[in-house]
């Protein structure tokens, strides 16, 4: 399921895309990384947010896409996902607060990102090549990177079923300054 957004604005090198959900709740659930084991950050399983109802209201929420992984130069990684509507269809005025350690709610949006689509696995080598390609295209178009991205941060958004061997659509995202 693709997010419902206004039409995209395309140039030769970048795409402006809104990341939102059709739900009236425009808040994002973010699972922050913990300490790393063998160089890999520990993340709580995303089912804490989606399936288990591990929140103050004990309600289950609908799955949303994309699943966004945010990478920083310091090697930290966070998993972000939009909060979906309740699975039981009941209205809610606000998203329930998470009870799982390492999971937080944050207001998201209000930014412009350049996007480069790709398929397959997002390996460190592939991500580095795509960051370089997208940053070069933006520079050629006279578009400056946002502060975090200038320091090496980037995001990868993934669409498609996580429990399938089918190839998934991915997007490498770099925040830009207007």
pLDDT tens-digit map of 93-128: 888 888 888 888 887 778 899 999 999 888 889 999
Q: Clarify whether residues 114 and 41 are in a common domain.
A: no
Q: Clarify whether residues 25 and 103 are in a common domain.
A: yes
Q: Clarify whether residues 94 and 120 are in a common domain.
A: no
Where a domain ends, among 57, 87, 108?
A: 108
- 82 and 108 in contact (C-beta within 8 Å)? yes
Question: Which residue from 110, 156, 102 is spatially nearest to 129, judged by alpha carbons?
Answer: 156
22-34: pLDDT as tens digits: 222 333 333 333 3
Instruction: Report the domain count for the chain.
Output: 2
Q: What is the CA radius of gyration of the chain?
A: 17
Q: Clarify whether residues 79 and 147 are in a common domain.
A: no
Annotate 102-147 with DSSP letters as a single string.
TEEEEE-----EEEEEEES---HHHHHHHHHHHHHHHHHTT-PBPH
Enclosing domain of residue 45? 21-108
138-155: pLDDT as tens digits: 999 999 999 999 999 999
Q: Clarify whether residues 55 and 124 are in a common domain.
A: no
Q: Clarify whether residues 42 and 84 are in a common domain.
A: yes
Q: Clarify whether residues 16 and 44 are in a common domain.
A: no
């Amino acid at each position: 399921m693709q997010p419902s957004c206004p039409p995209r604005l395309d140039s030769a090198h970048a795409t402006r895309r809104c990341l939102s959900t059709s739900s009236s709740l425009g808040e994002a659930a973010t699972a922050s990384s913990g300490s790393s084991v063998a160089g890999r950050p520990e993340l709580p399983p995303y089912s804490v947010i989606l399936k288990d109802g591990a929140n103050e209201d004990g309600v289950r929420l609908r799955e949303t896409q994309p699943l966004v992984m945010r990478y920083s130069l310091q090697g930290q990684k966070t998993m972000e996902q939009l909060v979906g509507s309740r699975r039981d269809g009941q209205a809610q005025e606000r998203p329930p607060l998470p009870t799982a350690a390492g999971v937080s709610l944050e207001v998201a949006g209000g930014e412009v990102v350049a996007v480069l689509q790709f398929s397959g696995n997002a390996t460190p080598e592939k991500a580095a090549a795509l960051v370089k390609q997208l940053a070069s295209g933006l520079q050629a178009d006279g578009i400056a990177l946002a502060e975090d991205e200038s320091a090496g941060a980037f995001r990868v958004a993934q669409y498609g079923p996580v429990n399938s061997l089918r190839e998934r659509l991915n997007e490498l995202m770099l925040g830009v300054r207007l």
